[in-house]
Amino acid sequence: MNKKSTLMLFAGILALLGLSAAGAGQDPAVTVKEVEPFPYLAITHKGPYTDMATVIGQVVGAMQAQGLFPQIRGPLVGVYYNSPGAVAPQDLSWEVGFIVTSQTTAEVPLLKKNWDYRTVAAALYVGPYDGAGAAIGKVMAWIAANGYVASGPVLERYLDQNPSGVAPEKLRTEIWIPCTKR
């Protein structure tokens, strides 16, 4: 499955489920907020972010093959365990998947995971996906400057129902970084 067809399938799934995103903001202002834990199905991956379209295709294909589309309850998410500034591209550890119902069960290659972090520094990044790293850096700087410490992986929530139909400069990604007060 190519990137365009993967994105179109993703958009169709969200439209079918009637899922929509919150309104976009202009500034990546950072706030600390409490979020509810949630389950998600994901495929974990070790390698460069240029593999993203392939991994999304694998997630969508596995969910389709297992009849799991009706279990989707939220946007596509990416969870990032290390940073391209700290490790070589082939050593990046990340996963991508969909928020699902708590009763959902799945088979390999999908793994059921739980986002259990409640306090997050959150920011809305508007722009091309490949620019989100700079926004994450700003959120990390805000965390340090405001008496917090990062306490978990970075989560990105991809908010647009049909990303292939959105101009790159208008794509919306919500960034969550778990944090605790020092």
Instruction: Note the pLDDT tens digit of each residue in 1-37.
Output: 443 443 344 444 433 333 333 333 344 799 999 999 9
> How many Cβ atoms from other residues are within 10 Å of residue 121's Cβ?
20
The C-alpha atoms of residue 15 and residue 146 are separated, in whole angstroms, by: 38
**Torsion angle, CA of 163/107/71/159, rounded to 10 degrees?**
-20
Beta bridge partners of 95: 44, 79
> pLDDT of 78-132, one tens digit each?
999 999 989 999 999 999 999 999 999 999 999 999 999 999 999 999 999 999 9
How confident is the model over 161-182, as pLDDT tens digits? 889 999 999 999 999 999 999 9
> pTM to 2 decimals?
0.85
pLDDT at 177: 98
CB 1 within 8 A of CB 60: yes
Domain boundaries defined on the chain: 3-181
DSSP letter at 63 equals H
Handedness of CA 146, 23, 2, 56 (dihedral sign): positive
Its CATH class, for the domain covering 3-181, is: alpha beta
